[in-house]
């Protein structure tokens, strides 16, 4: 058995691997940069190797050196980063160390999306039309697109996790999608090659967990449904995949195991398929542990990291296919640092969790975390399990409500709504379902939010107290209602009645409850530094969501409550950065004429790109430079109206 393991990764997966090492009595070494030096998994390590900067987590030579210098006999790459880098696997083995994963030959074959399709097609697994070779030659890709046909999907050949993927529906969209994808792929995977594949509409994303050993055995550990994703980034995963005919499920299992045997696969892997009706197509294989492996562990009772370490040590699989069973259902929610009501913009900043829910939590911190722009926006994972799918969905939704935090926006309020959606309950969703949802339109109740803000304004003993000058909009909390009841106020907004019960005050927050909603409490703050009775700008926080409210004519007879979400368009000639990040591309030069909607530039943060477009026509003045690091709200472009400019 492995005695000392280098965990060559960071965040919650490093904490997850460390937990199994502790149980098995395996010593482990961690690596860190300044930004993650306080994360919990370092506490039990026999040594922690300091790396110079964020990008050092991708430095294969530095990681192998860290392993050899600290006396490790094995390296676990986690997932992402170097887990699917054949060169890293070779370097680890060349240093005389055990690599916890398959052979470099298999990694190389499967990491290239085009070659993976060819190998699996030869093994009798159904595949979609696509390019036979990956390349970073954008002209060659543009030519190949005509053979693949539209709509098509652009995929980085050397990566995963949905990064850099985009759907292209016409030739006019292709060039910019290719350029964006190769930038993202180069930054995330140090590999700018791309692969094109026919895009299937209204499909479900089904994956099968497989395991193989050095003795030729290969098994599956059932399936997962990962269809609830945004921009090809998974958000909610569940096991087993619901409402699949058993005959189809058996064929998918057979295809995955047949593929594993064709590869002589050793270790943990995942075969991913698109399911359309009764047809399914292979899309890729991930030669590593998956972020969503937790739901498989929950329904099977198997520690997949334990299996990885045993197989890497040369042991046979701990169970045969006949001995592997499952019961119940499990749902995983990825908690992201992003604001669903500002187009899911990344939200770096200081996070403090005041209450964790009573479910399995995968995280690398106890209560405080500095979420930086240099890492993926995933903060933690909430894993809820029940005897049935309905129970697991309900428990996951409750967990989103029970988790309390302050400091930054997250996606949990949005996810809670999705988990309660009748479409999800009926398994009528597909991989594009979340991209079709406009949180502001679907989950907003402007009248209720306005009533909550008005109630806070009316009941404050000193109207400047709940919203003291200088309180930042980003510093918001969701609070429990107090036991005491300070009374109620009957309000009418646009003829709609509301009864607001005021529960109390806590520092600079007013705690209120509206009897007309089952979503409970709200925290109210202003969106500015000045207060006036005639017009009070407020922020209402409810179930993880934040809303801006302008309340005018405040009185017992509310005359007016105007609702707007964060990010609403302002009549501002300046285009500002929506988040801290880096200018990765400028598409215009100062003095150019631009039209409404024209692409001006691209800001990247937390491994995501955000396009900035012109809100109106005019003459543009560029105040940013490519490669510059910018702050949130920093002016990047100024567009003057044509008439004024001329």
For residue range 440-459, what is the model confidence (pLDDT) as tens digits? 667 655 555 555 555 555 54
Q: What is the pLDDT of residue 2?
A: 95
Q: What is the mean pLDDT of residues 24-35?
A: 95
Q: Are 510 and 489 in contact (CB under 8 A)?
A: no
Alpha-carbon span 324 to 304, nearest angstrom = 13
**What band does 468 get if pLDDT is binned at 50, 70 and 90?**
very low
Across 306-329, average pLDDT: 98
Residue 361 has pLDDT above 80, yes or no: yes
What percent of the chain lies above the pLDDT cut of 70?
Answer: 77
Q: pLDDT by residue (tens digit) across 250-302?
A: 999 999 999 999 999 999 999 999 999 999 999 899 999 999 999 999 999 99
User: Concatenated DSSP letters for 365-417?
Assistant: -SSEEEE-TTS-SEEEEEEEEESSHHHHHHHHHHHHHH-EEESS--SHHHHHH
Domains of the chain, with CATH numbers? 4-100 (3.40.50.20), 129-198 (3.30.1490.20), 206-442 (3.30.470.20), 446-560 (3.30.700.30), 574-640 (2.40.50.100)
Residue 317: per-residue pLDDT: 98
Phi-psi region of 280 (alpha: psi -120 to 50; beta: other; left: phi over 0): beta
| Residue 462 confidence (pLDDT) | 42
Residue-level pLDDT at 570:
43
Does 642 score more than 70 pLDDT? Answer: no
d(CA 196, CA 157) in angstroms, rounded, equals 9
Per-residue pLDDT tens for 125-135?
999 888 878 88
Burial of 327 by CB count in 10 Å (0-12 exposed, 13-18 middle, 19+ buried)? exposed
- Rounded alpha-carbon distances, angstroms, from residue 485 to 205, 283, 467, 497, 513: 48, 56, 21, 20, 10
Q: What confidence score (pLDDT) does residue 445 get?
A: 56
Residue range 527-548, pLDDT digits in tens: 332 333 334 444 454 444 445 4
Of 178 and 633, the one with more pLDDT? 178
Average pLDDT over residues 414-438: 92
Evaluate if residue 485 carries a pLDDT over 70: no
d(CA 612, CA 625): 14
pLDDT score recorded for residue 147: 83
Residues 6+ apart with CB under 8 A from 374: 35, 54, 606
How far does Cα 403 stand from its chain's mean position? 17
pLDDT band at 597 (very low <50, low <70, confident <90, very high): confident
- Tens of pLDDT, residues 95-137: 999 999 999 999 999 987 778 888 898 989 999 888 878 888 8
| Residue for token pair 């998994």 | 41
* pLDDT tens digits along 257-268: 999 999 999 999
pLDDT of 31 above 90: yes
CB 329 within 8 A of CB 240: yes
């Amino acid at each position: 058995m492995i005695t000392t393991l280098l965990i060559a990764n960071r965040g919650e997966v490093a904490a997850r691997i460390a937990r199994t090492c502790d149980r098995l009595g395996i010593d482990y070494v961690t690596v860190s940069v300044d930004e993650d030096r306080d994360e919990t998994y370092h506490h039990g390590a026999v040594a922690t190797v300091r790396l110079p900067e964020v990008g050092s987590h991708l430095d294969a030579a530095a990681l192998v050196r860290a392993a050899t210098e600290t006396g490790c006999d094995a390296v676990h790459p986690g997932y992402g980063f170097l887990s699917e880098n054949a060169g890293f696997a070779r370097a680890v083995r060349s240093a005389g160390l055990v690599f916890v994963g398959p052979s470099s030959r298999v990694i190389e074959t499967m990491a290239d999306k085009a070659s993976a399709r060819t190998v699996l097609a030869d093994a009798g697994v159904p595949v979609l039309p696509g390019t036979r070779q990956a390349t970073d030659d954008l002209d060659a890709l543009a030519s190949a697109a005509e053979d693949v046909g539209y709509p098509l999907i652009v995929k980085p050949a050397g990566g995963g996790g949905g990064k850099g993927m985009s759907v292209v529906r016409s030739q006019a969209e292709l060039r910019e999608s290719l350029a964006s994808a190769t930038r993202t792929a180069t930054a995330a995977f140090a590999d700018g090659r791309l692969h094109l594949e026919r895009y299937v509409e209204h499909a479900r994303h089904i994956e099968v967990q497989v395991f193989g050993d050095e003795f030729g055995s290969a098994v599956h550990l059932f399936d997962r449904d990962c269809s609830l994703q945004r921009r090809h980034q998974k958000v909610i995963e569940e096991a087993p995949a619901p409402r699949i005919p058993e005959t189809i499920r058996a064929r998918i299992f057979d295809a995955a195991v047949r593929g594993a045997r064709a590869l002589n696969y050793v270790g943990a892997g995942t075969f991913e398929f698109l399911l359309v009706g009764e047809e399914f197509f292979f899309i890729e294989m991930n030669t590593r542990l998956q972020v969503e492996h937790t739901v498989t562990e929950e329904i099977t009772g198997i520690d997949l990291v334990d299996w990885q370490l045993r197989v890497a040590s040369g042991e046979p699989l701990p169970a045969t296919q006949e001995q592997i069973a499952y019961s119940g259902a499990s749902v995983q929610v990825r908690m992201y640092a992003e604001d669903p009501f500002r187009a899911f913009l990344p939200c770096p900043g200081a996070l403090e969790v005041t209450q964790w829910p009573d479910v399995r939590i995968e995280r690398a911190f106890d209560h405080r975390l500095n979420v930086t722009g240099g890492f993926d926006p995933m903060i933690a994972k909430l894993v809820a399990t029940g005897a049935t799918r309905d129970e697991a969905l309900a428990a996951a939704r409750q967990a989103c409500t029970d988790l309390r935090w302050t400091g930054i926006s997250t996606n949990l309020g949005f996810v809670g709504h999705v988990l309660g959606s009748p479409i999800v309950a009926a398994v009528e969703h597909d991989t594009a379902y979340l991209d079709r949802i406009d949180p502001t339109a679907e989950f907003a109740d402007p009248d209720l939010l306005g009533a909550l803000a008005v109630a806070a304004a009316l009941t404050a003993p000193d109207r400047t107290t709940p919203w003291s000058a200088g309180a930042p909009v980003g510093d918001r909390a969701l609070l429990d209602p107090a036991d005491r009841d300070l009374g109620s106020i009957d309000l009418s907004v646009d003829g709609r009645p509301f009864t607001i019960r005021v529960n109390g005050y806590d520092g600079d927050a007013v705690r209120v409850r509206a009897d007309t909603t089952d979503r409970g409490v709200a925290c109210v703050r202003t969106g500015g530094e000045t207060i006036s009775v005639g017009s009070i700008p407020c922020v209402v926080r409810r179930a993880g969501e934040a809303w801006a409210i302008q309340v005018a004519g405040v009185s017992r007879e509310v005359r007016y409550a105007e609702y707007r979400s964060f990010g609403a368009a302002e009549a501002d000639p300046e285009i500002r950065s929506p988040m801290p990040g880096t200018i990765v591309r400028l598409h215009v030069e100062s003095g150019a004429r631009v039209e409404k909607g024209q692409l001006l530039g691209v800001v990247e943060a937390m491994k995501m790109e955000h396009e900035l477009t012109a809100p109106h026509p005019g003459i543009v003045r560029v105040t940013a430079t490519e490669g510059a690091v910018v702050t949130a709200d920093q002016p990047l472009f100024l567009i003057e109206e044509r008439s004024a400019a001329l």
